[in-house]
Amino acid sequence: MKRVLAIIIAILLFVVFAMAFAKIPFGEQMSKYPHYYNPIENQTSNMSLPQHYLTYGKKDTGATNMVTAVVVDYRGFDTLGEVTVLFLASTGVGSLMYVENKAKKKVKRSNAVVETGSKLLFGFIILFGAYIFIHGHLTPGGGFPGGAIIASSFLLLYLAYPKFHAEHKRLNVSESLAGLTFVIVGLLGLAIAGYFLYNFLPFGLPTYLFSAGVIPVIYVAIGVKVGSELTGIVDAMMGVRE
C-alpha cells in the first residue's frame, strides 16, 4: 500500500520536474545568459557572470584553473563555510562515537600480501594526494580531492592492520593549524587591502607553481585539514569495536 503510494508520488514528482526542466536550455552558448549586474559599481556588464569569470579570471586571480579561482578567490566564503561544515561533521562523529577506552577485541590478522602491499602503497598515495592539492591552481583537483586521497591512504592502513591507530591528538593539532592558516590568510588580506580573503601576494607568471597569490597557500591548508578530518572520521568509526 505504502509502496504503491510512494511509486505514485515518485512518478508525479518526475513528471513535474521534467516539465520544469524542459524549459531550461541545455548546452547553449554563454552569450545567451543574462548579463552580469555589478551591485558595487551599480552597472551592468556586457557579458554574463561566467563569461566575466572566464575572461578576467586569469588577470584577477592569476590561477589557470578557473574552478579553483571561483572556489577560493571569487567565492571564498563558500569554501570557508564548507570547511566549517566538514569540521562540524568530524566533531559530531567524534562525539557520537566516543568510547572511553577502546577495548580491542582479538582481530584476525590480514595476510602478508595485503600488509606488505598496503605498506608499499601508503607513501605513494600520500605523495599523489600532496601533488593534487599543491597543484590545485594549475590542474584539476584541489584541496578537497587531495585531502580525500590522503585520508584514503590512512583508510588502507586501517583496513590492512587491525591494530593500526592514528594518534588523535596529532590529528587534532594538524587540523586546527590548517584551519587557522586559512582564517589568518583571510585576516591578513583584511589588514592589508581591506577585504577578507583578499589575494595580496604577487601573482607571478601563470602556469608556474609559484603563481596565483594566496590560492596555493589556502589550498595546501585545506588539503591538510580535509585529510586529517576524514582520517579522524575513519578513526572514530573504526574505533567502535564491540
Which residues of this chain interact with another protein, rule CB under 8 A?
A: 2-3, 5-7, 9-11, 13-14, 17-18, 21-22, 24, 26-30, 49-50, 53-54, 57-58, 64-67, 69-71, 75, 78-79, 81-82, 85-86, 88-90, 92-93, 96-97, 138-140, 142, 144, 206-207, 226, 233, 236-237, 240
Give the position of cell 584541496: 143
The DSSP call for residue 200 is -
Q: Which is nearer to another protein, 184 or 237 (CB)?
A: 237
Q: Which is nearer to another protein, 5 or 40 (CB)?
A: 5
CB of 111 to another protein, least distance (A): 28
What does the longest C-alpha to C-alpha distance in the chain come to? 69
CB of 149 to another protein, least distance (A): 14
Q: Which is nearer to another protein, 3 or 105 (CB)?
A: 3
Q: Which is nearer to another protein, 58 or 188 (CB)?
A: 58
DSSP bridge pairs for 149: none
Give dist(CA 44, CA 57) in Å, integer: 18
Helix axes 112-134, 143-160, angle to 10 degrees: 170
Give dist(CA 60, CA 69) in Å, integer: 9
DSSP bridge pairs for 37: 44
